[in-house]
Chains A and B, each alone.
Chain A
Amino acid sequence: MLALRLARGTHPIVLLRRLMVAAASAGVGFLLLCTLGHALGHPEAAGGSAARLLWCLVPLAAAMQLAVAVARTDPATRPQPGLSSVGLGPVGLALLAAASTAVSAAVGSALALFSFLYLRGDLGGEPFGGSVADVLGAGQPLPYAGVLTLLFVVPALTGAAVAVALRPRKPRPDNAKSPDPQKPVAAAGQPSAAHTTVSTGLPWGVALTAAGIALGTYASRTASSPSDGLLPLPGRLDTIPAGVVGGWVLIAIGLVLACPGLTHLCGRLLASGRPGALRLLAGRVLQEEAVRLGRPLGVLCAVASAALAASQLYGTALDSTGARLFGPLTGVGAAVVMACATATVLTVALETKGARIDTTAALGRIGVSSGLLRKAAALRAGVLVAVLAPMSWAVAELASLPLSR
């Protein structure tokens, strides 16, 4: 109830972010229900339905990531003097955030159920002349327990993810805020945790990406190449060699691991030489925010690479078999994943801005103009795009090369 009460007084922008969570959850819930519909309509193709269910994990993971990013940015989840003085400490706030995320996701699930029933024609009428209804297993009675279970999955998982992500942790001696301001946080040099992550992440990420590309190439060469389509999403996961899928997973993990290091490198590059105030501010902030910003950026790069590779592979494979490989549900899934990844990056960028609000105010007091800060932000974004976009393209090319031969 408190979550709802707090939601009533929140800023429209915050509500808009929660609405994004609801929309993502609606998309994932709809895909899950569609899987159920497919299973109902095609009881003979159980393997295909299971593969579809597996593919649903990708949008589900993207939605969970978005939910966690939104909950981190939410002003209601930060320690507030007003709530802590009535006894709602960090644990209470984490549970509160989990509850409000679950509420948003449940709204999305309800929306998904409504649109699913509408498209099946259960609410009367035949939308799209009944062409979609066939895919969704129309005419079959719905198992209500199954529907409720599937709809319960997204709110429960996103809520749990938020509760785990925001749980109060014991302050580690090297990166937490020291309780005593008279004492330094780190004995010497840098807050080390962030920098070790960055420095170890990059080689691991590069190695994993390279291994993924190599594995994909090797597996696609040795396995007997299936004649009909290369990666028929979804439902025919069994027609592509498992090694290729494994390679793609490795590439995705590698990109996520490598991106913080790359972001850090971009920042170092920006502030190298004899920088003026603009390059100094832009570069050093990028170096500092590398970990926070790098991971969602890595996810976005992986998604972009996958989208590029898929469009390259299917752009040619579409008409040769006559079958529609890019079905409407694949489109919904891809849209959900891409929208979630983009929204997560934007939300994290907002979070970094919020975390630096004190510094920004202090800079304003010594006469730094807001125009300079905007220029620095634009410079950061520009450098990141200039480095990461060609990298995503190159990875997509390399990953799809063996399959498109």
Chain B
Amino acid sequence: MEAPPDNDVLWARSLHYAHDGTPALAGVSVGVREGEILAVTGPRASGKTTLLQCLAGQLTPQSGEVWFNSSPVHTMGPLARERLRRDRFGWIDTEPQLVPELTAWENAALPLLLRGSPHRAAKTAAMEWLERLDVGDCARKRPAALLQSQRQRIAIARALASDPSVLFADEPSAPLHRADRAHVLRTLTTAARSHTITVVLATHDEEVAALADRTIALVDGRRVGSLAAAEKEGQAECSLSV
């Protein structure tokens, strides 16, 4: 078994995954360097979310390898992967999936509390991040009383407050309006750069991808050189089948 390159914090080789038989990933290899922001672009159903879930240890690839800091994620048991997700990874969903019963600051402090940090320290860290993301005044409200953009910022604060090594963001700006979208992405990328957090960002938006250091493109579960080339290929197939 070949050891992963040293400068890559997260590294995957020839990942294959199928959701109940429907192929989602077909041999994707990718390396993420320490501290960089990597954008994964592609249209819907191109396997972006599945790739992120495989990298984050939420799904076990049916074949292929995932390495994080020279430890194999693909062979870990469920408990070890849970601990890895809790202690080293952050995750931001497309929709802000907050716990509806908890207030904003409790939501943001939840990962820290889960790690067993003391209540006061967790609250301080959570409040700090909420202030930094301009949602400090919503700290005592519940998610149901907030705007979608505020909720998404709280989800980002939750992911950042636990100071993860790698942050996975699955189209974090998709459900937002344009102004909110730009703001959310700017705060996310700025925070990641200032705290040297590695970010893997899935998006189908070319503008969003421009904020990243590096971009890889997926089409139909495969890595392609550029989206335009892949689309041409698809068109040729269409015209043949008519």
Interface residues of A (CB under 8 A from B): 181-191, 274-277, 280-281, 284-285, 287-288, 358-359, 361-369, 372
Question: 4 closest A-B pairs (Cβ-Cβ)?
Answer: A367-B86, A362-B97, A367-B85, A274-B119
Cβ of B145 and Cβ of A369 under 8 Å apart?
no
Closest to A285 in B: B101
Interface string of B178-219 (1 = CB under 8 A from A): 000000000000000000000000000000000000000000
Closest to A183 in B: B147
Closest to A182 in B: B148
Select which of A189, A281, A365 is within 8 A of B85 by beta carbon.
A365
Given the known interface contacts A280-B106, A359-B97, A366-B158, the answer about A186 and B83 at a Cβ–Cβ threshold of 8 Å is no
Q: Which residues of A contact B58 (CB under 8 A)?
A: 364-365
Scan residues 113-161 of chain B and give those whose CB is less than 8 A from a CB of chain A: 113-114, 116, 119-120, 141-142, 144-149, 158-159
Q: Which residues of A contact B111 (CB under 8 A)?
A: 366-367
Given the known interface contacts A182-B148, A189-B145, A367-B83, the answer about A287 and B91 at a Cβ–Cβ threshold of 8 Å is no
Distance between Cα atoms of A184 and B79 in the complex (Å): 37
User: How close is A277's CB to chain B, nearest CB, in angstroms?
Assistant: 4
Cβ of B99 and Cβ of A363 under 8 Å apart?
yes
Q: Which residues of A contact B86 (CB under 8 A)?
A: 366-369
Select which of B106, B110, B119 is within 8 A of A366 by beta carbon.
B110
Select which of A281, A284, A285, A367 is within 8 A of B82 by beta carbon.
A367
Distance between Cα atoms of A183 and B145 in the complex (Å): 9
User: How close is A58's CB to chain B, nearest CB, in angstroms?
Assistant: 35
Distance between Cα atoms of A366 and B157 in the complex (Å): 13
Scan residues 74-122 of chain B and give those whose CB is less than 8 A from a CB of chain A: 79, 82-87, 89-91, 93, 97-102, 106, 110-111, 113-114, 116, 119-120
Cβ of B119 and Cβ of A182 under 8 Å apart?
no
Count B interface residues, CB 8 Å: 39
Q: Does B19 have its Cβ within 8 Å of any Cβ on chain A?
A: no
Cβ of A276 and Cβ of B119 under 8 Å apart?
yes
- Beyond the given A186-B145, A367-B89, please list 7 additional residue pairs across the A-B interface where CB-CB is below 8 A: A183-B147, A280-B113, A362-B93, A365-B56, A366-B90, A367-B84, A367-B111
User: How close is A365's CB to chain B, nearest CB, in angstroms?
Assistant: 5
Given the known interface contacts A182-B177, A365-B85, A368-B86, the answer about A358 and B97 at a Cβ–Cβ threshold of 8 Å is yes
Q: Does B43 have its Cβ within 8 Å of any Cβ on chain A?
A: no
Q: Which residues of B contact A285 (CB under 8 A)?
A: 101
User: How close is A23's CB to chain B, nearest CB, in angstroms?
Assistant: 35
Distance between Cα atoms of A285 and B99 in the complex (Å): 9
Q: Which residues of B contact A372 (CB under 8 A)?
A: 114
Closest to A178 in B: B144
Cβ of B113 and Cβ of A190 under 8 Å apart?
no
Distance between Cα atoms of A280 and B111 in the complex (Å): 12
Q: Which residues of B contact A183 (CB under 8 A)?
A: 147
User: How close is B103's CB to chain A, nearest CB, in angstroms?
Assistant: 9
Tell which of A183, A187, A369 has the most Cβ of chain B within 10 Å: A369
Tell which of A188, A280, A363 has the most Cβ of chain B within 10 Å: A280
Q: Which residues of A contact B23 (CB under 8 A)?
A: none
Cβ of A365 and Cβ of B99 under 8 Å apart?
no
Q: Which residues of A contact B79 (CB under 8 A)?
A: 369
Distance between Cα atoms of A187 and B78 in the complex (Å): 41
Select which of B84, B101, B114, B149 is within 8 A of A368 by beta carbon.
B114
Q: Which residues of B contact A365 (CB under 8 A)?
A: 56, 58, 85, 91, 93, 97
Select which of A187, A190, A276 is within 8 A of B142 by beta carbon.
A190
Q: Does B225 have its Cβ within 8 Å of any Cβ on chain A?
A: no
Q: Does B234 have its Cβ within 8 Å of any Cβ on chain A?
A: no
Q: Does B5 have its Cβ within 8 Å of any Cβ on chain A?
A: no
Distance between Cα atoms of A277 and B82 in the complex (Å): 16
Cβ of B141 and Cβ of A189 under 8 Å apart?
yes
Closest to A356 in B: B100
Q: Which residues of A contact B102 (CB under 8 A)?
A: 280-281, 284
User: How close is B1's CB to chain A, nearest CB, in angstroms?
Assistant: 27
User: How close is A147's CB to chain B, nearest CB, in angstroms?
Assistant: 50
Cβ of A366 and Cβ of B91 under 8 Å apart?
yes
Q: Which residues of A contact B72 (CB under 8 A)?
A: none
Select which of B90, B91, B145, B147 is within 8 A of A190 by beta carbon.
B145
Closest to A185 in B: B144
Cβ of B148 and Cβ of A277 under 8 Å apart?
no
Given the known interface contacts A285-B101, A367-B114, the answer about A274 and B120 at a Cβ–Cβ threshold of 8 Å is yes
Given the known interface contacts A185-B145, A276-B119, A368-B114, the answer about A284 and B101 at a Cβ–Cβ threshold of 8 Å is yes
What are 25 A-B contacts with C-beta separation under 8 Å? A185-B145, A186-B144, A187-B145, A188-B141, A191-B144, A191-B145, A274-B120, A276-B113, A276-B116, A276-B119, A280-B113, A284-B106, A358-B97, A359-B99, A362-B93, A362-B98, A366-B85, A366-B91, A366-B111, A366-B159, A367-B86, A367-B89, A367-B111, A369-B82, A369-B86
Distance between Cα atoms of A274 and B79 in the complex (Å): 27
Tell which of A187, A285, A362, A366 has the most Cβ of chain B within 10 Å: A366
Q: Which residues of A contact B159 (CB under 8 A)?
A: 366
Given the known interface contacts A182-B148, A182-B177, A184-B146, the answer about A288 and B141 at a Cβ–Cβ threshold of 8 Å is no
User: How close is A359's CB to chain B, nearest CB, in angstroms?
Assistant: 6
